Chains A and B, each alone.
Chain A
Amino acid sequence: MISRMQQSTIRTSLLLLLIAPLLTMCGEEPDPRTEAEKFVSIYDNNQLNAIYFPIDVKQTADGGYIILAAKEIIAPDANSNNPNFYYTYIIRADKNGNFIRENELESNYVSPVGDLVQVDTTFYFFCRDVQTFQAKMITINQQGNLANASDVGVTYPAAASSSESSIIMMGYDNVDRKTVIKTLSTAGAQLQSASFDIGPGGDKEVEAAIIDHFTKKGRRLPFLAGRIPNGPYYFNGFYNYSLSLCFTSFVQDAPPSGVVLGQQYKGGVSALAPLGNNQVALASFNFGDNFFLPRQELVPSVQTNITELNPNGFSLPELTPEAHVKILRTTINEKDVVIYASTTQSRQIGLYFYDASTGAFMSSRYLGFSNPYEVASLTPTKDGGLAVCGTTYVAGRFSRICLFKLSKGEISENVK
């Protein structure tokens, strides 16, 4: 027998049980404003024989993305007189990574190279004229459409970046067998130029390596061009028969002011980001091995060999041999951070976060599972996040461009 008091208690408890879910009644409604914070996109083409080779990504003024890539359609009848080139291919995506349009530039603009340089609201990159081998500076607008193409006066463009409002490019002169570095105005006019002998063997083995790099049928060489802020210019190219990091101030006919000599093209610098005060974040390779040197002193007048620097770094056996590496210096959670992006042996994109002021390792993050993924480039986004562009092999076989957008919250977890 239950007393009236007990009965009352039971009723009250039951009523509370009924009311409790009412108080918490809710659902998680999607917020369209947050869709751009994080996404993954794979840009697919249903042609079996289409091959894509992403190069660089930049964010546009409206929060969308422009991806510079090379595209090849396999041609079984290609020969040395009629080779099959990688054409210049641009994807424009919206802020959520949704495909807006593709733009395949004229078929005579081949072998595009990065970086995709941004000066104000306009983007620039270099490619090669299929007939003349001459480098072209291509200007594209915010929509990814061709705005201008100007001759640069060198063959085989290899790398580009910007310094304030000028554009730095490095190329290979296949006539004089020289590595050439230039600064250009945004209109394509030459501002400064210097050239350097690639040294003995330049007409054979080195040139063969360069040709393989451009046709993407051989090893991808880590050509670089840039400037130490308020300091000398640098390039990572062939000099003295080796893939070397050279510093120059464009003094006519003078050798580089500083050199980090590689070992032919078996060892050398694979990526670099200046940190100031003669410090750089460096990545290097040596006979297949990879090293990260997140805070390395490098005076622009240095005369050294890459094998003397490698012991200062961290070896990364998890990366593919002679891995493609990109380094981004950025600020996350008010911390000065250096992010290394590369491709792992398991074909994932690895992101490695280091404290730029100390070189201390902070954390790592891996992108891409199930299918193979390879990194191409990364860029900071206006919302404090990170966009990472790469190649994935859909169904394990079709190379397609992929874009990862990481939110500010996600990458903040990497720099706690």
Chain B
Amino acid sequence: MKRLYLVLLCGLLAMNLAYAQSNNSSKKRKKTAAAYNKQSKEIEKFLEKQWWLGPKGGINLSQPRVEKEYFIMAPTNYDPSLIAKKYDKFKQVGSQVTFEISFYYRRFSFSFQPTYQHTAFSYSNTYIWQGGTNAGQLVQLEYEQLQKVDHLQFPILIKYEVAGNRLRPYLQAGFYQGVLLNATKEVTISGNDNASGGLSQFENEPIIVGAKDLFAKNHWGLIGGAGLYYKLGNVRLNLDMMYKSGMSNITSAKNRYDNDRLSGVGDSMDDLLLDNITVSLGCLFPLRFLENSFKSADRKK
């Protein structure tokens, strides 16, 4: 929730700056128009390039892809698939904050977007023991496992602005490098106990542990996406959508069994690739505007 507040705060700040620049630029409109007329060729050439900087933030949803399953519980008389982990798909909401640096040249932008990303994903597995001395004796346990992982990501993207002037849709593709910052795991065990003479439903207090060692220090992935720029004065408001496809394992194979509390309850992380859908809102400011009398906004067509 605190992270959402932070994202909202960044958005409001961006809007405020955009409004201020808009007012400022309207006062100088007449003056710069004359300069435009005089130096139209230079302007055209100048506006072919631009540096854009600015923050953006939003939410993300994740889905792990299992590369290889690992079990601590090794069934001796039943099918291991009965206790396999069931992963939730794009269910847990995370958040991210990005500072974007883009270099624009003739509709193409080369963009570097260092991002703090908080990701969450979950899985569950079920165990059943039955066949006691009385018919109907059964114990069923449900293990709910929630992972929260913080990464610093370094995406590098190529953007292509498809069309438009004030409203500019774009496509983007690239890759990212993720560096692990922090991780926690939360295990909640609930179940039905019908082995002691009657049915008893229970849910234990969750086990919450720091799990940074269980995740890979680095991982990388590919990015595809689309977005929209909206010109507001000298700045651009930005709606950005990305699909990040993990290309390397996000869990640490070396430390898979290092957390004794989790191993103790039979949990070990699978080898996972993490896919991620992110939606962000942001605002970009021109850099070259600072040294020229030109308008930072794109040239009129």
Please list the residues of chain A having a beta carbon within 8 angstroms of any beta carbon in chain B: 1-2, 7, 10-11, 14, 17-18, 20-22, 24-31, 34-35, 38-49, 74, 76, 91, 93, 97-99, 102, 366-371, 373, 392, 394-395, 397-398
Complex Cα distance A142/B46, Å?
A: 78
* Min CB gap B142→A, angstroms: 11
Binds A, one of B13-21, B84-92, B161-169, B260-268: B260-268
Find B76's partner among A17, A43, A366 (CB 8 Å cutoff).
A43
> Do B220 and A26 have beta carbons less than 8 Å apart?
yes
Partner of A28, one of B128, B130, B218, B290: B218
Give min CB distance, A99 to chain B, whole Å: 4
Q: Which of B3-11, B34-42, B55-63, B244-252 contacts A (4 or more CB under 8 A)?
A: B244-252
Q: How far is the CA of A102 from the CA of B262 in the complex (A)?
A: 26
Whether, in the assembled complex, B30 has its beta carbon less than 8 Å from a beta carbon of chain A, the answer is: no
Cβ–Cβ contact A17 & B112, under 8 A: yes
A341 vs B65: C-alpha distance in the bound complex, in angstroms?
40
Q: How far is the CA of A368 from the CA of B132 in the complex (A)?
A: 27
Q: Which of B133-141, B229-237, B275-283 lines the interface with chain A?
A: B133-141
Contact B266 A34 (CB under 8 A): no
Do B156 and A48 have beta carbons less than 8 Å apart? no
Given contacts A28-B253, A43-B74, A76 and B133 within 8 Å (CB-CB): yes
- A48, B132: Cβ atoms under 8 Å? yes
Complex Cα gap A163–B104 (Å): 80
Known: A74-B133, A395-B139. A28 touches B248 (CB 8 A): yes
B131 touches A47 (CB 8 A): yes
When chains A and B are docked, how far (Å) is the Cα of A11 from the Cα of B288?
11
- Let me know if A367 and B260 touch, CB within 8 A: yes
Whether B219 is near chain A, meaning CB under 8 Å from some CB there, is: yes
Chain B residues near A25: list those with CB within 8 A: 175, 177, 220
CB neighbours of A20 from chain B (8 A):
154
| Contact indicator A40/B133 (Cβ below 8 Å) | no
Whether A31 lies near B253 (C-beta < 8 A) is yes
Q: Determine the chain A residues whose CB is within 8 A of the CB of B291 once the complex forms.
A: 1-2, 7
Residue positions of B touching A, CB distance < 8 A: 51, 67-68, 72-78, 101, 103, 110, 112, 114, 127-133, 137-139, 141, 154, 156, 175, 177, 191, 195, 207, 216-220, 247-249, 252-254, 256-257, 260-266, 268, 271, 287, 290-291
Contacts of B266 on A, CB cut-off 8 Å?
Answer: 42, 394
Q: Contact between A28 and B219 (Cβ–Cβ < 8 Å)? A: yes
Q: A2-B290, A27-B220, A40-B268 are in contact. Are A99 and B74 (CB under 8 A)?
A: yes
| Best-buried of A44, A97, A398 by chain B (most CB within 10 Å) | A44
User: Which residue of the partner chain A has the closest CB to B247?
Assistant: A27
Bound CA–CA A268/B78 (angstroms)? 43
A366 to B260, CA, bound (A): 9
Report how far A22 CA is from B112 CA in the complex, Å.
11
The residue on B at minimum CB distance from A26 is B218
Do the beta carbons of B207 and A370 come within 8 Å of each other? yes
Q: List 8 A-B contacts (CB under 8 A).
A: A24-B218, A26-B220, A28-B218, A31-B253, A44-B74, A76-B133, A369-B261, A394-B73
B75 touches A48 (CB 8 A): no
- Taking a contact as CB atoms under 8 Å apart, the answer to whether A368 and B139 are in contact is no
Distance A370 CA – B185 CA, assembled complex (angstroms)? 15
Q: Which residues of A contact B264 (CB under 8 A)?
A: 368-371, 373, 392
Q: In the complex, A49→B262 CA distance in Å?
A: 25
The smallest beta-carbon distance between B63 and chain A, in angstroms, is 18
- Contact A29:B257 (CB < 8 A) given known A21-B156, A40-B268, A46-B78: no
Find out whether the CB atom of B76 lies under 8 angstroms from the CB atom of A41.
no
B75 to A, closest residue via Cβ: A44
* A1 CA to B291 CA, complexed, in Å: 5
B129 close to A99 (CB less than 8 A): no
A38–B207 alpha-carbon span in the complex (Å) = 23
Tell me the nearest residue of chain A to B268, going by C-beta: A40
| Contact assessment for A42 and B73 in the assembled complex, using a CB-CB cutoff below 8 Å | yes
Q: List chain A residues, Cβ under 8 A from B128.
A: 46
| Also in contact, A28 and B74, with CB within 8 A (given A2-B291, A371-B264) | no
Give the distance in Å from the alpha carbon of A99 to the alpha carbon of B74 in the complex.
Answer: 6
Instruction: Give every chain B residue within 8 A of A48 (Cβ-Cβ).
Output: 129-132, 137-139, 195
CB-CB under 8 A for A30 and B76, given A25-B177, A48-B137, A369-B264:
no
CA distance A97 to B139 in the complex (A): 26
Q: Are A49 and B257 in contact (CB under 8 A)?
A: no
Q: Once bound together, how far apart are the Cα atoms of A40 and B217, in whole Å?
A: 23
In the assembled complex, the Cα of A74 lies from the Cα of B195 at a distance in Å of: 14
Give 10 A-B pairs besides A22-B156, A28-B219, A44-B127 with Cβ atoms closer than 8 angstroms: A7-B291, A17-B101, A25-B177, A30-B253, A35-B253, A44-B73, A369-B261, A370-B207, A370-B260, A395-B191
Task: Assess A30 versus B271: contact at CB under 8 Å? Given A48-B131, A99-B76, A367-B260.
Answer: yes
B255 and chain A: residue at smallest CB distance: A38
Q: Which residues of B contact A21 (CB under 8 A)?
A: 154, 156, 177
In the complex, the chain B residue whose C-beta lies closest to that of A1 is B291
Tell which of B74, B103, B247 touches A42, judged by Cβ atoms closer than 8 Å. B74
Residues from chain B with a CB closer than 8 A to the CB of A2 are: 290-291
| Alpha-carbon distance A10/B53, docked complex (angstroms) | 12
Query: Given the interface contacts A98-B74, A370-B261, does A18 sit within 8 Å of B268 by beta carbon?
Result: no
A30–B133 CA distance with the chains assembled, in angstroms = 44
Chain A residues whose C-beta falls within 8 Å of the C-beta of B74 in the assembled complex = 41-44, 93, 97-99
